[in-house]
Amino acid sequence: MKVNSQIDNSFFANNSTSLNQKVEFSNVAQNTEQGNTQNESINEQLSKLTEKLNQQAESLGTNIKFGFNDKIHSMYVSVTEKHTGRLIRQIPSEEALKLAEHLQDVIGMIFDKES
């Protein structure tokens, strides 16, 4: 009798643990989906903001352009020559943006998820 009661108790303890793990995993999945939705919303807001900044910069007659990089979720500023349109400076530089994109990809590979 003691053996059966010990087996039954361990069986229920293991099942309750797996049930808790399933609930935790479903909560994580829901939070991840909400996080992705929030990220998309923030990206859209930043894209709209860059458009507004560019419109205001044009109305002031400046040669400053604002942009948003979707891959690394970062803004950048470009300064161009007024008459030729030649790029004078970009902050952060194009190389820095490409490096950040590459690092996002590497981090994604290391942790086995999309960057």
The fraction of the chain above a pLDDT of 90, given in percent, is 15
Residue among 95, 97, 59, 58 nearest 76 (CA): 97
Is the pTM higher than 0.75? The answer reads no
Q: Where are the domains of the chain?
A: 2-110
pLDDT digits (tens, 9 = 90+) for 64-109: 888 988 888 888 999 888 888 888 899 999 999 999 999 988 888 8
Residues in the chain: 115
Choose between 2 and 41: higher pLDDT.
41
The one-character DSSP state at 88 is E
Q: In this predicted structure, what is the pLDDT of residue 29? A: 46
Considering only CA atoms, give the Rg of the chain.
26
Average pLDDT over residues 32-46: 73
> Per DSSP, what are the bridge partners of residue 64?
79
Choose between 75 and 18: higher pLDDT.
75
